[in-house]
């Protein structure tokens, strides 16, 4: 029996635009993902989040499913475009608490109001201050019941996929803009922490997608800086790494005076892990637009088994990542805020069970090496709108029929239910 520490938190995660639907309900205004998904050619098959899983109207059914699973916590995001009427989240939090499920609220999971994008979005410094105002408003409504808060989800994606390659909303492809957006997202995080602290928030975190970079040491170090340390070091050390700052300064100017705000102490670091990247030096390579300035570096083919997303399945990467974080950034507790896999559709999903089993064992091994890891959230509770991939890729413990919106727990849901019940895995 592989048993986890007492108090280890088991949960599942979703995000507002990916599951809620109801994009015109109760005063919601358009987001950048409404605009992007309705632009021909941006999302597979022209899919949008207009209906998604209709969680907005079916949340009670979904909370009952969470209760059946035995979830101890549910990580959801608040939609900034719903700021005019946040009553849905008031009802959702009450429903969760009625079932003994702790709400974990993420304030930003990529659905920036289009009105702010029209003023520059994350390239406009003022957006960071608007985020702090928004954080205060949400805490005013939910802070008496929500104990755990996350400022941003995966700012790397918002900056470098949204403004670097343009594969995500708002669809900008400009490396200088991407670096500026990254800095302003971190500033928003710091200002958001200040706002939440002032409002009395108990536990505040930031969630980063962290991807180990394997391969030739020189290229791997550069890409690691642009993928991981560009956020880790400012937030946890109060400074950009020297190599990253040198690289960044070729593209844009940022105010280093912001670093004191960016480094506001957090209580937990959220870690989203899916795979690793492998790189080699290649003088003919054009590099990656999501890692600006990587000309001469090639991304090599993944090894071994791949997911439906084409990502390498490598649980050891998660163990190594957690040990590295514990050693390089000591004193900050960690939480796995997303880990999951897209596999072929069906209720029987042995590939998902195998993936999750391997990664949960990697988490346990990291704890055994002294990593202060507080919990594990599966991505995702439900099949959902997988951003530019539309509805083709399915990550859910629960299958969603997008024609009828019927929910069906998969075999992996029953597997995870057993893991939670025993607080561990069979030997």
Residue 311 annotated as lining a ligand binding site: no
Any idea what the Cα angle at residue 140 is, between residues 134 and 144, rounded to 5°? Answer: 135
Residue 129 annotated as lining a ligand binding site: no
Residue 379 annotated as lining a ligand binding site: yes
Round to whole Å and give the CA distance between 284 and 58: 52
Q: What are the backbone angles phi and psi of residue 368, rounded to the nearest 5°?
A: -65, -20
Q: Which residues pair with 382 in a beta bridge?
A: 398
Residue 299 annotated as lining a ligand binding site: no
Helices H / strands E in the chain, number of each: 15, 15
Q: Which pairs with CB-CB distance under 8 Å and at least 24 residues apart come from 280-288?
A: 280/215, 280/216, 280/219, 281/216, 281/218, 281/219, 288/165
Q: Residue 132 contacts by C-beta under 8 Å, 6 or more apart in sequence?
A: 188, 191, 192, 194, 195
Residue 272 annotated as lining a ligand binding site: no
Sign of CA dihedral 137, 49, 335, 101: positive
Show the DSSP H helices in 10-125 as ranges: 16-19, 32-37, 55-69, 87-98, 114-117
Q: Write the CA distances from 369 to 123, 364, 365, 366, integer angstroms.
A: 41, 9, 6, 5
Decide if 338 is catalytic. Answer: yes
Residue 387 annotated as lining a ligand binding site: yes
Catalytic pick among 20, 154, 319, 351: 154
Catalytic pick among 264, 312, 338, 351: 338
Decide if 290 is catalytic. Answer: no
Residue 153 annotated as lining a ligand binding site: yes
Active site (catalytic) residues: 154, 338
Could you list the residues known to form a binding site for substrate, using ranges: 18, 109, 153, 274, 379, 386-387
Could you list the residues known to form a binding site, using ranges: 18, 109, 153, 274, 379, 386-387
């Amino acid at each position: 029996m592989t048993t986890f520490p007492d108090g280890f938190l088991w949960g599942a995660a979703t995000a507002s635009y990916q599951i809620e639907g109801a994009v015109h309900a109760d005063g919601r205004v358009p987001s950048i993902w409404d605009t992007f998904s309705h632009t021909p050619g941006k999302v597979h098959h022209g899919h949008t989040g207009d209906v998604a899983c209709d969680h907005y109207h079916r949340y009670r059914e979904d909370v009952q499913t969470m209760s059946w699973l035995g979830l101890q916590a549910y990580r959801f995001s608040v939609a900034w475009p719903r700021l005019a009427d946040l009553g849905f989240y008031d009802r959702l939090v009450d429903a969760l608490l009625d079932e003994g499920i702790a709400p974990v609220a993420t304030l930003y999971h990529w659905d920036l109001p289009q009105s702010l994008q029209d003023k520059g979005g994350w390239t406009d410094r003022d957006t960071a201050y608007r985020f702090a105002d928004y954080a205060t408003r949400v805490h005013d409504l939910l802070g008496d019941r929500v104990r755990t808060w996350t400022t941003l989800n995966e700012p790397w994606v918002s900056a470098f996929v949204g403004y670097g390659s343009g594969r995500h909303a708002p669809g900008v492809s400009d490396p200088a803009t991407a670096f500026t957006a990254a800095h302003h997202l971190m500033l928003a995080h710091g200002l958001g922490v200040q706002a939440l602290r002032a409002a009395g928030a108990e536990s505040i975190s930031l969630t980063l997608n962290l991807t180990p970079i394997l391969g030739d040491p020189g290229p791997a170090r550069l890409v690691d800086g642009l993928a991981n340390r560009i956020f880790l070091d400012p937030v946890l050390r109060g400074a950009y790494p020297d190599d990253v700052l040198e690289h960044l300064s070729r593209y844009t100017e940022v105010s280093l005076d912001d670093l004191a705000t960016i480094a506001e102490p957090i209580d937990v670091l959220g870690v989203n892990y899916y795979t690793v990247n492998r790189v080699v030096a290649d003088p003919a390579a054009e590099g990656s637009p999501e890692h600006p300035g990587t000309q001469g570096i090639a991304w090599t083919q993944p090894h071994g088994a791949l997911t439906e997303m084409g990502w390498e399945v490598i649980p050891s990467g998660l163990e190594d990542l957690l040990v590295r974080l514990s050693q390089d950034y000591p004193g900050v507790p960690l939480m796995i805020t997303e880990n999951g896999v897209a596999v072929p559709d069906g209720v029987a999903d042995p590939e998902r069970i195998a993936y999750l089993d391997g990664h949960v064992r990697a988490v346990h091994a990291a704890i055994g090496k002294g990593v202060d890891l507080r919990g594990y959230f599966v991505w995702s509770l439900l099949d959902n709108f997988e951003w530019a991939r539309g509805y083709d890729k399915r990550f859910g413990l629960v299958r969603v029929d997008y024609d009828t919106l019927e929910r069906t727990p998969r075999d992996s849901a029953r597997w995870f239910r057993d893991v939670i019940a025993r607080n561990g895995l069979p030997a």
